[in-house]
């Protein structure tokens, strides 16, 4: 199973409609189609801040896992909202800007169909511990937060 399949099989990504389409060499790409269920407004479609965040965190995690082939829980993330997302498709692209033994730094950009940047995010992810552990657990009880 490749990385994109792994992310497509995650129940929360399925619940939100997030698809990861590329993940290789520390770079990943994904998207979702905005629907009424993503809105923070009952009268019209304006995406809740959690939608761009979930997409960013997912694609960021895919970028890290594509470089490290191990579980990569999110340690922390900052997101900045630059423009409202009001419909159509949201695309995200993530790039690992530093891949260390214990943590990776990742930049993510979320854009709408017009190419406008909706949000940018920067996250720190765990990159593994050599023994199949994660940031929060050791051993076989792995934790895949954010992915």
Stretch that binds a second copy, among 19-27, 62-70, 71-79, 87-95 (CB under 8 A): 71-79
| 84: CB partners within 8 A, 6+ apart | 46, 47, 118
The angle formed by the CA atoms of residues 107, 53 and 62, to the nearest 5 degrees, is 55
- Give the nearer residue to a second copy in terms of CB position, either 29 or 103: 103
Residue 87 within binding range of a second copy, rule CB under 8 A? no
Which x/- pattern over 100-139 shows residues binding a second copy (rule: CB under 8 A)?
Answer: xxxx-x-x---------x--x-x-x-x--x---x-xxxx-
Binding mask 26-45 for a second copy (x = CB under 8 A): ----------xxxxxxx---
Q: Rule CB under 8 A: choose which of 12, 33, 88, 113 binds a second copy.
A: 12
Q: Tokens representing 17?
A: 């409609």
Which one, of 75, 69, 122, 92, lies nearest residue 18 by Cα?
92
Please say whether the dihedral angle defined by the alpha carbons of residues 89, 115, 105 and 69, taken in this order, is positive or negative.
positive
Query: What separation in angstroms does the CA of 126 have from each of 47, 59, 131, 141?
Result: 29, 15, 13, 15
First to last CA, the chain: 15
Select from 54, 59, 62, 108 the one that contacts a second copy (CB under 8 A). 54
| Residues binding a second copy (CB under 8 A) | 9-16, 36-42, 46-51, 53-54, 57-58, 61, 73-85, 97-98, 100-103, 105, 107, 117, 120, 122, 124, 126, 129, 133, 135-138, 143-147
């Amino acid at each position: 199973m490749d990385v994109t399949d792994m992310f497509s099989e995650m129940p929360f990504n399925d619940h939100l409609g997030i698809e990861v389409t590329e993940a290789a060499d520390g770079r990943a790409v994904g998207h979702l189609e905005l629907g009424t269920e993503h809105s923070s407004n009952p009268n019209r479609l304006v995406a809740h801040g959690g939608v761009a965040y979930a997409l960013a965190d997912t694609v960021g995690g895919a970028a890290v896992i594509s470089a490290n082939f191990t579980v990569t829980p999110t340690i922390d993330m900052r997101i900045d909202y630059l423009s409202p997302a009001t419909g159509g498709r949201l695309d995200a692209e993530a790039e690992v800007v530093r891949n260390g033994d214990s943590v990776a730094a990742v930049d993510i950009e979320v854009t709408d169909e017009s190419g406008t940047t909706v949000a940018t995010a920067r996250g720190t992810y765990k990159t593994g511990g050599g023994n199949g552990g994660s940031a929060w657990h050791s051993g076989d009880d792995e934790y895949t937060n954010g992915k």
